[in-house]
Amino acid sequence: MAMKTRRAFVRALGLTSVGVLASGVTLRAWPSVSAGTDAEQYTVLEVRKAARHFAMLYFNFCKTLVGAFGQDEAYELTRRAIFNLALDRTDRMREKALSLGLSTDVESFDRLTDLPSVAWRKWDSSSGEVRCPYAQAWLGYFDLHPWFARFASLYCDVVDTTNIENFSRTTSHRITKNLLWGDADCEREFFESDQVKSGSFTYGVRE
């Protein structure tokens, strides 16, 4: 693609730059903030940048663990870390719900979530990105680090399932579609679980 044409293509996507590194890794650009950006757009862009940093941190922790312990042991250590993160988050959210006299159901979970969901809710497909800012970053690692695909998906499975299981103590969850699997968007379903009601969670035991 000629340089002039390429620049026009990049501008049409609302991106700052795009390219391929010599190693063949796709360099995914992120939208820039222009003078005409309104407050809501600015917030979305800033939250997505912060989410990108988390996603990069997660990848590099996984990569370090794989290098030190091999994929199988690293996978188990990562699962435990994500499980404990979800417990930490939702212990606080559950305590807040109870203090406010709210039920601990899916609706209350969504109301009290500690995730800055504006980056997902206000996503605009014209940005050239996928809806989830974590997936936006993680997908860029798959070609060069194919082992990371199952670690990326693990995060979604463990954190989302454990979040609702620990918050509700009655309900479980499964992901039915995921951007990381090649789907156009992510979808999930919640269901009552006798296992969860008995105090047993899908992805681990409280340490």
Burial category of 8 from C-beta neighbours within 10 Å (exposed 0-12, middle 13-18, buried 19 and up): exposed
The one-letter amino acid at 47 = V
pLDDT digits (tens, 9 = 90+) for 143-191: 999 999 999 999 999 999 999 999 999 999 999 999 999 999 999 999 9
Any idea where the domains of the chain sit in the sequence? Answer: 37-197
The one-letter amino acid at 110 = D
Where does the pLDDT of residue 23 fall: very low under 50, low under 70, confident under 90, or very high at 90 and above?
very low
Please tell me which residue, 11 or 176, carries the higher pLDDT value.
176
Burial category of 64 from C-beta neighbours within 10 Å (exposed 0-12, middle 13-18, buried 19 and up): exposed
pLDDT digits (tens, 9 = 90+) for 47-71: 999 999 999 999 999 999 999 999 9
Residue 149 pLDDT: 98
Q: Alpha-carbon distance 138 to 151, whole Å? A: 10
Q: Are 4 and 18 in contact (CB under 8 A)?
A: no
pTM as predicted: 0.80
From residue 131, alpha-carbon distances to 7, 33, 121, 135, 206 in Å are 24, 18, 8, 8, 32
Residue 115 pLDDT: 86
